[in-house]
Structure 1
Amino acid sequence: MSYLMPSEFVTKMVDAGESKLFMATRDAFLRAFMAGGILALAAAFAVTISVQTGSPLIGALLFPVGFCMLYLLGFDLLTGVFVLTPLAWLDRRPGVTISGILKHWGVVFMGNLFGAITVAVFMAIVFTYGFSTPPDEVGVAISEMGKDRTLGYKEFGAAGMLTVFIRGVLCNWMVSLGVVGAMISTTVGGKVIAMWMPIMLFFAMGFEHSIVNMFLFPSALMMGGDFSVWDYMIWNEIPVVLGNLVGGLTLTGLTLYATHVRTGAKRALQ
């Protein structure tokens, strides 16, 4: 069958988390670098389509192409390893430690960051003809997006910080379902459909994804965005990373593991 039962694909999630933790550091970094770059290019594509059509919904409909590409190629996003690797520790897989998980997260974070920033430089060059002209229409849209999603939260203080954190939680609830979707089916078409739906939802709803933001905000800064690196880190990247961790792990990883692997005792019929 092309569809796997939940008990089967959740076991695959645990196996995948264990496998990633014992991967060579160079491989973990390279796969993360490529994932960050591909997702960044997909984000640039989605913004371009949104600007050209005047419809953000069309951009959201097409954005998942990058996510599907990178997972079909076996690359890794931090948002995905947030979900999978702790399950190997919960399942008491031999050799899996908290320190090993944190180290792997650090490697993937840096790989995603370098990949996303590389594409940010490339696209800033494209949008400004090698920094020889002001940014084009798409570049201006990215610059404004960077300002709105940093200073826009800062304006509301603690309420803004809570909002960006919750948007990060909701984002990785959906993104992690996309990661799971790659394991639900054994066919390429089935995997793509299962991944496409939640990724489209997160992008259309304007939730905050830490890796997408590693592209959008550095690119905006390169093109004269009216905010600082400090604004980006404090009012977006840090709370979004934390929100992504909480959302993916609690709302997807732990719930699936608790109900499909460590199931409760069956009730007796009265």
Structure 2
Amino acid sequence: MSFKSPAEVTNSACSVAVAKCSLKFYQMLLLGILAGAYIGFGGFLYTVVTQDLSKYAGMGLSKLLGGASFTVGLMLVVIAGGELFTGNCLIPIGIMKGCVTPGAVAKNWIFVYFSNLIGSILLAYLIFYSGLASELVGANALKIASNKMALAFGPALFRGILCNWLVVLAVWMSMAAEDVASKIFSIFFPIMAFVASGFEHSIANMYFMTIGILLRHNEALIAQAGLTDQALNVLSLKGFMNNIIPVTLGNIVGGVLFVAVFYYLAYKDKLSD
């Protein structure tokens, strides 16, 4: 076959877990900042593509094309190189095999998560000061951020689970691919599916919500977005935390349980020593 079998990918995932847990602090910091920014680039492109598309193509096609545009974020992470918290929800497979410790995984998650946050915020500020988040794009950014921060805990949690099930599957399938073109296709469809479906990604939300908070005092954009006072009030640090906590928890469950645990249990008898 021109790609790795699921059993072979399971072995590769264990090797990747060892490599990721062996990264030095500065490597996790730099690669985590890059990954946060890369996902932010996907988020900004999504905002640009969907700013008025539903008016011409309908809501369904708008979501589909928006999801397709967002895939560039994970492509940059996987192919150019980056450390992404949601993708790293796969590495607990190394704990189950016994090749990495829970402490090493926790250290990677903590360093990478907050490095992703730095990269996401950095990208949001760069977009804000570039002036590109104006008119319809800025209004769309405000609506996206407000909708995310208004989500109740339960829906945010379950959308986070569904999201990272697909995101980690995209990473899993990209590990099966033997060439760059195959990796791109492996990433494209699961990521397009999660975005078009309306699932919630913690690192993407770091960008979306930060740019929304930065734009919340722009009266012209608020009027263009048609936000009510209630929708506007959620654009705050409290709204940020109300979303990011359940979505992050959901992302962990989705990636660890439905990919790492399930595939380890399915193929543990075929793992190399």
User: Equivalent of 1:61, from 68, 74, 80?
Assistant: 68
Structure 1 position 260 matched with structure 2 position 264: no
Distance 2:248 2:74 in 1: 18
Query: What is the TM-score with the length of structure 1 in the denominator?
Result: 0.87
Distance 1:31 1:223, change over 3 A: same
Q: How does 1:65-80 map to 2 (within 5 A)?
A: 65-80=72-87
Corresponding residue number in structure 2 for 1:233: 241
Cα distance in 1 for residues equivalent to 2:260 and 2:145 = 30
CA offset at residue 57 of structure 1?
Answer: 2.1
Inter-partner Cα distance in structure 2 for 1:208 and 1:109: 16
* 2:97 aligned with 1:91: yes
Larger displacement relative to structure 2 (207-216 or 98-107): 98-107
* RMSD of equivalent CA atoms: 1.5
Structure 2 residue 251 is matched with structure 1 residue 244: yes
- Aligned equivalents of 1:16, 1:170: Cα separation in 2: 23
Which whole-Å CA distance do the structure 1 matches of 2:8 and 2:20 have between them?
A: 19
- Verify: 1:147 aligned to 2:139, yes or no: no
Q: Does 1:81 align with 2:88?
A: yes
- Report the equivalent of 1:156: none
How far is the alpha carbon of 1:125 from its aligned partner? 1.8
Contact map agreement 1:127 1:138 (CA 8 A) in 2: no
SS across alignment from 2:72: helix
Give the letter aligned to residue 137 of structure 1: L
Please tell me whether residue 25 in structure 1 is matched to residue 32 in structure 2.
no
Deviating above 4 A after TM superposition, structure 1's stretches of 4 or more consecutive aligned residues are none
Amino acid of the residue matched to residue 136 of structure 1?
Answer: E
Tell me the distance in 2 between the aligned counterparts of 1:40 and 1:82: 19
Rate the CA distance shift 1:14–1:138 in 2: closer, same or farther, 3 A.
same
Structure 2 Cα separation of the partners of residues 15 and 9 of structure 1: 10
Q: Distance in 2 between matches of 1:194 and 1:206?
A: 20
Cα drift, residue 139 of structure 1? 1.1
- What is the correspondence of 1:93-242 to structure 2 with a 5 Å cutoff? 93=99, 96-127=100-131, 135-151=134-150, 153=151, 160-224=152-216, 226=232, 227=234, 228-234=236-242, 236-242=243-249
1:20-58 Cα shifts (integer Å, max 9, x gaps): 001111001111110110110111001101114332321
Aligned length in residues: 247
CA offsets 1:72-128 (integer angstroms, 9 cap, x no match): 1221210011122x11111111xx322221111110011100001000001112346
2:88 and 2:207 mapped to 1: Cα distance? 19
SS of 2:47's equivalent in the other structure is helix
Between 222-231 and 248-257, the greater mean CA deviation after superposition: 222-231
Letter in 2 for 1:44: F
- Equivalent pair of 2:149/2:209 in contact (CA under 8 Å): no
Contact 1:3/1:184, CA 8 A, preserved across alignment? yes
Alignment partner, residue 266 of structure 1: none
Query: Percent of aligned pairs with the same residue?
Result: 28
